[in-house]
């Protein structure tokens, strides 16, 4: 990597424990989401670089899988400590690449990766890879070479949550980070090198989906693909992987509902929903983008949501005073504004916000900022009720009774996350049990990364985090013994 004048240019891939020049001379610019200015670049590699990386991972596999879980844990903890040492650098990069505000850039964007390696280390140390069942031994073994393809919204976390648990289970990995936000992946590769991870256990190849992602998925040596991104891209990965019957773990889109029951503390519930939605500027697959409320309280909810959204400070992610930063790219800004315009065109009630640019200082007018927006009277057939927007846009839907609320909550092709708010915990749990989603918050319950992360329906296949994520990377073998 070359770093100068607050710019970071990635010039090589990290393969087999060394930095190797890519096979192509083509690069892609990386833009500062706050200003629209170029802040770095990364290679656009191709299938030849994938071949090198997979070969390095395959060469490292036999040695790594035979390292004991306890010894693997020591490497994982060394990586966690190096990530901690690079915290400020990582947070600064993420604030610029993705637009995440200061609180989340220095918080979950950079602290969760450390926790992933520490938790994976704890599991590797204590996990029973072999157990008895009657006259059988049940053996869990590494799958082999894993391809990890990640999205841009949590560029460090999505790489590390895959890599940490995969190598803890004894696999080796080839990572393809997003070309939109690749810079933290390069720093992560430096972390691996400094921590002394054996060569080839984790490899990083920079590039786009068609030229790097697809060759990685299709490679005959790659036995599993772990992917985070759009449902459309997930379908394509599933098609390619099916041709060689490889395992896939897919963490895809969401259109998550927050159901506020009639007896809920409304101000508390609406605040919970708004704060969750705005986390990472709305650039989350599991954010509560649909607020489902009693019809006779619709006006009250509109006012609460409008007051909470309109008072949030929008501005550069470098300032701790700003609660909402920019989106990650011009393409993402255009996409979100298009959805806002579609909502207006299809007849949703615009409560606050809109497609116009927010007021900004002169030096930040080139950034990818959008206005936090609330729609009400959103009906199930509207585009903004059905498609993932990935920005600070809230859709409020009204229900007539609880049966209607459950029907609205489940009226989506997705099933990643949901939330229920009630004054009666048992009632909230009863309603939560009827919602088709992989993760459900009850009365403001927060995320625990030891618990499984993943969804139903077209939100994906498999789970990440904790024991559930660890076991995704293991094959199960039955060894039959004589009685």
Instruction: Supply the residues annotated as catalytic.
Output: 251
Taking alpha carbons only, the member of 130, 218, 230, 234 closest to residue 174 is: 218
Taking alpha carbons only, the member of 290, 283, 305 closest to residue 255 is: 290
- Encoded tokens for 101: 């505000």
Query: Is there a contact between 417 and 438 (Cβ–Cβ < 8 Å)?
Result: yes
Other Cβ atoms closer than 10 A to 311:
9
Distances (CA, A) of 240 to 177, 180, 458, 459: 19, 23, 17, 18
SS3 106: coil
Backbone phi, psi, residue 268, to 5° = -65, -45
Helix 69-85 vs helix 183-195: crossing angle, to nearest 10: 130
* Residues contacting residue 39 through CB under 8 Å, at least 6 positions apart: 6, 7, 8, 30, 31, 32, 96, 97, 183
Backbone phi, psi, residue 259, to 5° = -95, 115
């Amino acid at each position: 990597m070359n770093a100068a004048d607050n710019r970071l240019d990635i010039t090589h891939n990290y393969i087999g424990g060394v930095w190797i020049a890519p096979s192509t001379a083509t690069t892609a610019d990386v833009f500062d989401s706050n200003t629209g200015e170029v802040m770095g670049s990364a290679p656009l590699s191709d299938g030849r670089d994938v071949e090198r990386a997979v070969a390095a991972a395959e060469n490292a596999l036999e040695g790594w899988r035979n390292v004991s879980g306890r010894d693997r844990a020591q490497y994982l903890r060394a990586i966690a400590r190096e990530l901690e040492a690079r915290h400020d650098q990582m947070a600064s990069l993420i604030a610029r690449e993705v637009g995440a505000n200061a609180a989340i850039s220095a918080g979950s964007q950079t602290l969760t990766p450390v926790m992933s390696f520490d938790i994976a280390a704890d599991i590797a140390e204590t996990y029973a890879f072999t157990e008895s069942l009657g006259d059988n031994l049940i053996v869990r073994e590494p799958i082999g070479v894993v391809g990890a393809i990640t999205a841009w919204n949590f560029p460090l976390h999505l790489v590390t949550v895959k890599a940490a648990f995969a190598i803890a289970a004894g696999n080796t990995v080839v990572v393809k980070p997003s070309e939109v936000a690749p810079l933290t992946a390069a720093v992560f590769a430096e972390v691996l090198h400094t921590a002394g991870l054996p060569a080839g256990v984790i490899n990083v190849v920079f590039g786009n989906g068609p030229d790097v992602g697809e060759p990685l998925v299709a490679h005959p040596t790659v036995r599993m693909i772990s992917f985070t991104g759009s449902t459309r891209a997930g379908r394509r990965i599933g098609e390619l992987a099916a041709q060689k019957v490889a395992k896939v773990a897919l963490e895809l889109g969401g259109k998550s509902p927050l159901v506020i029951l009639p007896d809920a503390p409304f101000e508390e519930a609406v605040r919970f929903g708004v704060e969750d939605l705005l986390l990472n500027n709305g650039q989350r697959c599991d954010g509560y983008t649909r607020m489902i409320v009693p019809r006779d309280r619709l006006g009250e909810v509109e006012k609460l949501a409008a007051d909470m959204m309109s008072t949030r400070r929008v501005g550069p992610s470098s300032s701790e005073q700003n609660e909402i930063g920019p989106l990650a790219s011009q393409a993402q800004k255009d996409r979100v504004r298009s959805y806002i315009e579609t909502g207006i065109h299809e007849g949703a009630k615009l409560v606050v916000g809109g497609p116009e640019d927010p007021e900004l200082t002169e030096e930040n007018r080139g950034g990818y900022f959008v206005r936090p927006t609330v729609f009400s009277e959103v009906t199930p057939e509207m585009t903004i009720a059905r498609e993932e927007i990935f920005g600070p846009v809230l859709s409020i839907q009204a229900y007539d009774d609880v049966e209607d609320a459950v029907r609205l909550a489940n009226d989506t092709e997705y099933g990643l996350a949901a939330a229920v708010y009630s004054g009666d915990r048992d009632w909230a749990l009863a309603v939560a049990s009827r919602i088709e989603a992989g993760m459900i918050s009850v009365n403001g319950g927060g995320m625990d990364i030891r618990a499984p992360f993943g969804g139903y329906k077209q939100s994906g296949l498999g789970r990440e985090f904790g024991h559930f994520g660890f076991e995704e990377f293991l094959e199960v073998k039955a060894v039959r013994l004589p009685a």
